[in-house]
């Protein structure tokens, strides 16, 4: 270990090299920051997940907290919008479980992208409309045998 009387210096190439690496890293991070910020602004809640709790607020009052529900929609799960709509409803209704089938549970939540004959859509799965909330959300219940 050098004593107090010794002077410690570092080669210029090392100091300059490390300085350059640091500056380039800061530059890269700044670019990443700009990209992340631009992406977040361009894709602000792209699947409208934040809007779903408000959209489903009235429907929730009909459903027990530990209910298992079915799901009926006019958008296929195979397209991204359909999956996003489903997960939006599922996330807003959780801890209730929303399965992808409209045929296996007593209660079924309908999530529609446009007005249509909801009664007919439900009847195809032996469901009757309990309430149409007027915002594309419809609550169905299975018909008694």
Partner 1 sequence: MSIVSLVIASLIGYCGVRLWLPADAGRSRWKQALHAALGIGLGMGLTGCLYWLLVVGNIGALPVMLGVELVMLAALGALVLRQRSIAAPDSNTATAPSFPYLLPGVGLAIMVGLFITAFAGVVELNPQGGWDAFSIWNLRARFLLHTATWKFAVTPFPVGAHMEYPLLLSSVVARGWTYGGSPSPSVPIATAFVFAVGLVLLLVSTLALARGASAGLLAGVILLASPAFMTQAPSEYADVPLAFFFLAALALITQGRTSRCLSLAGVFAGFAAWTKNEGALVVVALAAALIVSAWRSTGWRSATRQGGIFLLGALPGLLLVLWFKVALAPPDPLAGQMTVGLGQKFFDGGRWLKVAGGFLKQAWEVHLLPLALLAVTCGLLRLRPRQERSPVPLPAVLLVLGGYFAIFLVTKDDLDWLFATALDRLYMHAWPALVLAVFLQLRRPEDFALVSTPAKAKKAR
Binding site for partner 1 (CB under 8 A): 1-2, 5-11, 13-15, 17-26, 28-33, 35-37, 39-41, 43-45, 47, 49-50, 65-66, 68, 77, 83-84, 86-88, 90-91, 94-101
| All residues at 6 or more sequence positions from 22 whose CB lies less than 8 Å from its CB, including other chains | none
Closest CA to 139 of 84, 69, 64, 47: 69
Closest distance of CB 119 from partner 1, Å = 26
Q: Enter the DSSP assignment of 143.
A: P
**What letter does residue 106 receive in the DSSP assignment?**
S
39 vs 128 by CB, closer to partner 1: 39
Pick 31 or 113: Cβ nearer partner 1: 31
- What backbone phi and psi angles, to 5 degrees, belong to 107? -100, 140
Q: Smallest distance from the beta carbon of 41 to partner 1, in angstroms?
A: 6
């Amino acid at each position: 270990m050098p004593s107090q009387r010794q002077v410690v210096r570092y080669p210029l190439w090392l100091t300059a090299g490390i300085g350059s690496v640091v500056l380039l890293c800061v530059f890269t991070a700044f670019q990443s920051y700009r990209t992340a910020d631009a992406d977040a602004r361009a894709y602000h809640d792209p699947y409208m997940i934040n809007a779903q709790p408000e959209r489903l607020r009235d429907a929730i009052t009909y459903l027990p907290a530990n209910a298992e529900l079915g799901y009926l929609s006019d958008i296929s799960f195979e397209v991204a919008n359909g999956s996003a709509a489903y997960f939006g409803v599922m996330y807003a209704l959780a801890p209730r479980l929303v399965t992808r089938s409209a045929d296996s549970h007593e209660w079924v939540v309908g999530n529609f992208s446009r007005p249509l004959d909801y009664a007919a859509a439900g009847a195809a799965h032996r469901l009757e409309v309990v309430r149409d909330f007027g915002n594309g959300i419809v609550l169905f219940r299975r018909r008694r045998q």
